[in-house]
Every structure is written in structure tokens, then in C-alpha cells.
């Protein structure tokens, strides 16, 4: 069993981004990310702070817009329009979830696809589907980096994704398919889930249930990627995979924390850099 170190891989990605941002800086181009947070969700505040810290690490400008929970949808749409028009801002990220009275889809659709560094806009989702994308959703892109770190080629492998969310499950399946994996998507209605997952050479768990994947569900030697971020009964951070039970059986496995989590923010930095290059006509 080999533990895939997301902290190490994310540090490498951020180092590459920092070097490229410095090259842009020599041409007089600065890279800017605007992060919008509405309300005072504690988890969202942690994520936003981590994004600001990552921007500082790679040499980006960071613009935070912290709005009160009672902000109206029209006020938020007006801010998004202002950021779309702001040349200093290369990427726009509206931290989800939003308060109940705001339609998340309306906000996502209002972000310019060229600045949509989360890759949630339907235009970017369509590009991912057909394989001519500029941006990839940060978590699935981070998962692909972690799989690459193992040295195992996705081509021809049985790949199983547990979960079908628009943010992780669906794009994850597409990225594995683009690498010529044979992909099965599973979800809450899948019959005899363990018989499907135990055939997987590469298993990605993104279901949001602590310890959901147990050792009997994985194939010996499989690559097991845990996207989950949950709290167990003791309040300890844990993933969707029963790490202690699965680690001896898996060939490669990601820990929680320290696996997929750091990669998500590293890939956000890469997307923001890509956006800056495209907007300034420097895309290679």
C-alpha cells in the first residue's frame, strides 16, 4: 500500500504556477482572483481563507468580497457583472453554498465563462463534455493529478466513480473517459454496489458519507481516491473511505485530510493562471 501525498503534489503544482506567474509578471501582467462569500458559513470562511493564502503563495492578487447573508440576488448579480468587467480580475469564484433565497444557478450562469475558474458555467461544462476545455473543475482535475502521481496509466483500466454530483462525480467520469478509462458511474440507486466497485482498478469515492467504502468493496491493489470530507461521530475529519480498513488492501490510497483537499485549491490556482494567460493573449 502506498499513500498518495496530496500536500506534496499540490506544493509542486503551486510551485509551477508561481514560476509561470512570475514570467507573466515580467511582462507586466498580474494575475487576480476575486472570491465572493455571502453570509458567515464557518466552513466557507475556512475555504475562502485557504484560497487567499494560496494566492499569496503563488504571487496572485486576491480580491475578497464578503457580503452579509441578507444580500439580495440582484445585488450579487450586480457584483458579478462588475467583476466580469474588471480587467484586474482574471478569475471569479462565488463560494457555495449560497443563502437559500439566492438561486445558485443564476449566479453561476452570470459569471463570464472566461473567468469561471470553478468550471461550473454550462459553457465550460459543455467544453469538458466534448474534450476541448480551457478549465477543469478543481476537484476532479486534482484527482487526475493524484492518479498520475502513482504512475498508473488510466488507459484501459476499469474506473468506478461513486457519486454523480455536477461538481465532482459527472466531470470526474468525463476526465477518466478522456484518458481512455472504461468508466462506470454508481450512485444511491445502483444495485449491488460492492460487486461493481470491487472490479475497479481505479475507484473514486465522492458520496459524502463517512467510512462508506469498506475493504470488501475494493479490489486488491486498486488505486483508491477519497474525495469525501466528513466528520465522524467523534467530530474528527474523515473521508468516504474507511482508511484503516482499506489501506492494506489498496495499492494506492489518498488520506483525509492531506489527499484530495490540498489539490482542489492548487488546481484553482492553475485555472486562474490559465484564465490570465487567455485574457492576455499568452496562452501557449
Q: Among 95, 226, 277, 279, which one carries the catalytic annotation?
A: 95
Question: Is 26 considered catalytic here?
Answer: no
Instruction: Give me the count of residues in the chain.
Output: 284
Could you tell me which of 147, 117, 145 has the C-alpha nearest to residue 133?
A: 117
Distances (CA, A) of 42 to 47, 102, 124, 264: 9, 19, 29, 18
Q: Among 116, 118, 201, 226, which one carries the catalytic annotation?
A: 118
Question: Is 192 considered catalytic here?
Answer: no
The pairing of strands 230-231 and 237-238 is antiparallel
**168: CB partners within 8 A, 6+ apart:** 137, 139, 140, 206, 227
Q: How far is Cα 44 from Cα 23, in angstroms, rounded to an integer?
A: 32
C-alpha cell at 89: 480580475
Question: Is 118 considered catalytic here?
Answer: yes
Can you list the positions of beta strands (E) in 146-242?
158-162, 182-186, 202-205, 223-226, 230-231, 237-238
Q: Among 51, 115, 157, 170, which one carries the catalytic annotation?
A: 51
Q: Which residues are catalytically annotated?
A: 51, 95, 118
Amino acid at each position: 500500500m502506498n499513500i498518495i501525498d496530496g500536500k506534496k503534489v499540490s506544493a509542486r503544482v503551486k510551485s509551477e504556477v508561481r514560476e509561470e506567474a512570475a514570467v507573466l509578471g515580467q511582462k507586466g501582467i498580474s494575475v487576480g482572483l476575486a472570491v465572493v462569500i455571502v453570509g458567515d458559513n464557518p466552513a466557507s470562511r475556512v475555504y475562502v481563507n485557504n484560497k487567499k493564502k494560496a494566492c499569496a503563495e503563488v504571487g496572485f492578487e486576491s480580491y475578497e468580497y464578503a457580503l452579509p447573508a441578507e444580500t439580495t440576488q440582484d445585488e450579487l448579480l450586480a457584483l458579478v457583472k462588475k467583476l466580469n468587467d474588471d480587467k484586474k480580475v482574471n478569475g471569479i469564484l462565488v463560494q457555495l453554498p449560497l443563502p437559500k433565497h439566492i438561486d445558485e444557478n443564476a449566479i453561476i450562469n452570470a459569471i463570464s465563462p472566461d473567468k469561471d475558474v470553478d468550471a461550473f458555467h454550462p459553457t465550460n461544462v459543455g467544453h469538458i463534455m466534448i474534450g476541448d476545455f480551457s478549465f477543469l473543475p478543481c476537484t476532479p482535475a486534482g484527482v487526475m493529478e493524484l492518479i498520475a502521481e502513482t504512475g498508473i496509466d488510466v488507459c484501459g483500466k476499469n474506473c468506478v466513480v461513486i457519486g454523480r454530483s455536477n461538481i465532482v462525480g459527472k466531470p470526474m467520469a468525463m476526465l477518466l473517459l478522456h484518458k481512455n478509462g472504461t468508466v462506470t458511474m454508481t450512485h444511491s440507486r445502483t444495485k449491488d454496489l460492492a460487486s461493481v466497485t470491487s472490479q475497479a482498478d481505479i475507484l473514486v469515492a465522492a458520496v459524502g458519507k463517512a467510512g462508506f467504502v469498506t475493504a470488501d468493496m475494493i479490489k486488491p491493489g486498486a488505486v483508491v481516491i477519497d474525495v469525501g470530507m466528513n466528520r465522524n461521530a467523534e467530530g474528527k475529519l474523515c473521508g468516504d473511505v474507511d482508511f484503516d480498513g482499506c489501506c492494506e488492501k489498496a495499492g494506492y490510497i489518498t488520506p483525509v485530510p492531506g489527499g484530495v483537499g490540498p489539490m482542489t485549491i492548487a488546481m484553482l490556482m492553475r485555472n486562474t493562471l490559465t484564465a490570465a494567460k487567455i485574457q492576455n493573449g499568452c496562452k501557449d
